[in-house]
Structure 1
Amino acid sequence: MALQWMILTYIVAAEAAIAVLLTLPSPKVVKNRLVSLISLILQPALFIVPFAGFQLLDIYWKNEHRLMCTSEICTAAERDRYEKSIYKAQRNGVLCAASILLYWSMYRICKYHKEIQSLEEVEKRYKEQ
């Protein structure tokens, strides 16, 4: 199970780096090349959405079927283990949500940039006429 979360962590880090690259000011030629490259990567990278959704369902299922350790019968070690599992589930839930949100933001940034490019081309054609 830890391998899934490690992969998701790396994907979120890569998505965050790409989102920062897309939002940094840069020359128009560099920005156009970067956006076209990221747009090519976005199609195969769509697998992250169902993967993160499945992981969220897994977290939900485990939360619903987790043994509660809130009574006086539980030892301190059992209570610590229970609390640690709750914190891990919360962290993993935030990680899944971040991966989906970052993918969506990268998609929208690329789409807005392409729309701006097409509008600039239309404006250029009207100015030439």
Structure 2
Amino acid sequence: MALQWMILAYVVAAEAVLALLLTLPSPKLIKSRLVSLISLILQPSLFIVPFAGFQLLDIYWKNEHRLMCTGEICTAAERDRYEKSFYKAQRNVILCAAACLLYWCIYRICKYYKEIQSLEEVEKRYKDQ
């Protein structure tokens, strides 16, 4: 199970780097090539959305079927273990949400940049006429 979370963490880190690269100011030629490259990567990397959704379902299932440790029968070690697992689940929910949100942001940034390029081409054609 830890491997899945490690993969998701690396994907979120890579998405954050890509979003940073897309939002940094750069020359037009470099920006257009970068956007076209990232656009090619976006479709195969769409797997992250259902993967994160499945992980969210897994967290929900485990949360619903988790043994509660709230009575006097629980020892301090059991209570600590329960709280630690609860905090890990919260961290993993944030990780899943970040993966989906960053993917969507990268997709929208690329789409907006392509729309801007097409509008600039139309404007250039009208100026030439």
Q: TM-score range by the shorter chain?
A: over 0.9
| In structure 1, C-alpha distance between the alignment counterparts of 2:35 and 2:70, rounded to whole Å | 51
Instruction: Describe how 1:14-33 pairs up with structure 2 within 5 A.
Output: 14-33=14-33
Identity of aligned residues (%): 85
Instruction: Describe how 1:22-101 pairs up with structure 2 within 5 A.
Output: 22-101=22-101
What are the superposed Cα offsets for residues 39-73 of structure 1, whole Å, 9 maximum, x if unpaired? 00000000000000000000000000000001111
Number of aligned positions between the proteins: 129
| In structure 1, C-alpha distance between the alignment counterparts of 2:45 and 2:123, rounded to whole Å | 33
Mark the runs of 5 or more structure 1 residues left unpaired by the alignment: none
CA positional deviation for 1:7: 0.2
TM-score normalized by structure 2?
1.00
| In structure 2, C-alpha distance between the alignment counterparts of 1:119 and 1:64, rounded to whole Å | 51
CA positional deviation for 1:32: 0.2
Instruction: List 4+ stretches of structure 1 deviating above 3 A.
Output: none
User: What amino acid is the match of 1:89?
Assistant: A
Mark the runs of 5 or more structure 2 residues left unpaired by the alignment: none
User: What amino acid is the match of 1:94?
Assistant: I
TM-score normalized by structure 1?
1.00
User: What amino acid is the match of 2:44?
Assistant: P
What are the superposed Cα offsets for residues 10-49 of structure 1, whole Å, 9 maximum, x if unpaired? 0000000000000000000000000000000000000000
Say what the alpha-carbon RMSD is for the aligned residues: 0.3
| In structure 2, C-alpha distance between the alignment counterparts of 1:25 and 1:72, rounded to whole Å | 59
